[in-house]
Structure 1
């Protein structure tokens, strides 16, 4: 059984490698594996055609007709109408009649310059008729339609899903043969990893199927006073001046807000601290000693002083003493 566990771990290195799975299936016994699953992995990965491709025939994946391809349609349209609310109801009704639904609804109502932006999801085969119906609600100003062919990605996902399902089945069969706790834990971890990979692939397939089955149309309905130029970004000196003034006002608003938040703290803490600092400074001035006006006796003259022109202070005459001749 340990050999089976080692073989399973080796084959689990890559989710797209089907050769190891076939070896694991052979080790577990080919008798209990359906023939369709056993032969689908490598053939699907090579060309996505399965057994039909091995027989030389063209399977469903080899069909290159337009109606058999997976195409994602996305479109956006801008229409100017007289009544935005009425046009929005008409657009919603068009999507509902086509078998779709409204995926998003944003409106701004203000008399004649009202704007409504709707996101419609409609079946792919009803995409162009719905677009034309939306254009007929008023005067069309802009239309953009994009398509993306995801046929190859869809075929690749189908092949990988088939292969991954076979890998999961092989891991389950080996798990049934586990005869020790260590083998059971290893096989359970490997099976959980393979099942998680399979779930991820199936989620991608469902996402692609949703995009191809339902197309997305973004319709913008504007009132008669809203022009396309109003929504375009302006450039030039005046536009820069206007933008700079707006930023200046916003900055001043932020500055005043911060000042208003800090001012109470300044009044509560700043005024007492300032008063204490002023009193301590005044006290230091009072106790500061006065500088000596006369240099003490015996102090040598500063370097570079002119001794010839300096006046020597005479001591006061002593009473009764004679002056020298």
Structure 2
């Protein structure tokens, strides 16, 4: 019995030593982790840099239905009207009625140009209203698919927000002054990236929600006269016009040559005057032989 009790006591002692060793090792590990936790957790978000994978719950680009596509729509319309300024004012009213606004605008007596932004859902109806303001010379629409960009920015924005939250939590746990300075610097960098992504998302959202219409207005072009033959009257009119054109060309040529003719006539007149005053030379006499 004494041998069994001795073995039991030894077994209990070995078990107690093992438990003590495990407890001391765990405490040492926790102490080491508390000293380097800030650096490790600051590096972790950087290792988990967001890629271009679609955000959770969103369909991958190119695989969603047509209703899920994000389209940035633009349009152009060119009109002619006797009063371009009045057409510009009408375009402004049409944009207001559609719930939009006018951006850049230039108007003078002969032309007008406007940049109109309206909700994308009212693009077609607004174009129809603008077409009623004058004679349509040109009208076109263009849609750019920005679904992939929208999904990418949403994914990166969600990851960046989580990254900023983790760094803010580390700032509360930082113990030394150097750790506080390091964490604050990292927090500033990640907040700047977050603001940049937020601005990009806002820009894409505005492009999808609002469609831009470029409106240009000019004066009507005067029709060219009919040049087809119209019988004797038309031929007489064409002949008279040709005669006037020829006469005008002849008179123009004479007017251009008049100064040169005057310079030539003066020496000619002096020479002619000199010839008239010079006495005539008697003809030579032929000697005759007397027989």
When normalised by structure 2's length, the TM-score is 0.60
Relative to 1, partners in 2 of residues 1:10 and 1:211: Cα closer, same or farther, differing over 3 Å? same
Contact 1:5 1:186 in 2 (8 A): no
1:4 to 12, 15, 37: 37
1:97 aligns to 2:130 (yes or no): no
In the alignment, is the contact (CA less than 8 A) between 2:92 and 2:102 conserved in 1?
Answer: yes
Aligned ranges 1:249-260 → 2 under 5 Å: none
> Which sections of structure 1, spanning at least 5 residues, go unmatched?
19-41, 51-58, 228-325
SS of equivalent to 1:199: helix
Secondary structure class of the residue paired with 1:179? coil
Matched, 1:133 2:129: yes
Contact 2:85/2:108, CA 8 A, preserved across alignment: no
Per-residue deviation, 1:106: 0.4
CA distance in 2, matches of 1:156, 1:144: 30
Question: Rg bigger for which structure?
Answer: 2
DSSP 3-state at the match of 2:175: coil
Say yes or no: does 1:46 pair with 2:79.
no
Question: How far off is 1:6 after superposition?
Answer: 2.3
Q: How does 1:6-25 map to 2 (within 5 A)?
A: 6-11=39-44, 13=46, 17=49
Query: Aligned partners of 1:214, 1:46: CA distance in 2, in Å?
Result: 26
Relative to 1, partners in 2 of residues 1:189 and 1:2: Cα closer, same or farther, differing over 3 Å? farther
- Cα shift readout 1:149-176 (whole Å, capped 9, x = no counterpart): 1111111111111111110111011111
In the alignment, is the contact (CA less than 8 A) between 1:2 and 1:183 conserved in 2?
Answer: no
CA RMSD of aligned residues (A): 2.2
Deviation at 1:117, TM superposition (A): 0.1
Paired positions, count: 188
Which deviates the most, 135-144 or 75-84? 135-144
Whether the 8 Å contact between 2:84 and 2:107 is mirrored in structure 1 is: no
- The answer to whether the 8 Å contact 1:79/1:221 transfers is yes
**Deviation for aligned residue 1:66:** 2.7
Aligned twin of 1:216? 212
| Residue 138 (structure 2) pairs with residue 142 (structure 1) | yes
Structure with a larger share of its residues in helix = 2
Which string of whole-angstrom CA distances, capped at 9 and with x for unpartnered residues, describes residues 67-86 of structure 1? 33211011111101122122
- Evaluate the alpha carbon distance shift between residue 66 and residue 226 of structure 1 in structure 2; reply closer, same or farther with a 3 A threshold: farther
Question: In 1, Cα distance between the equivalents of 2:66 and 2:38?
Answer: 47
User: TM-score by structure 1 length?
Assistant: 0.54
| C-alpha spacing 1:226/1:172, structure 2 compared with 1 (3 Å) | farther
Write the deviation string for residues 71-130 of structure 1: whole angstroms up to 9, x where unpaired: 101111110112212211111111110000111110121xxxx10001100000001111
Q: Verify the 8 A CA contact 1:124 1:212 in the aligned structure 2.
A: yes
Aligned position for 2:226: none
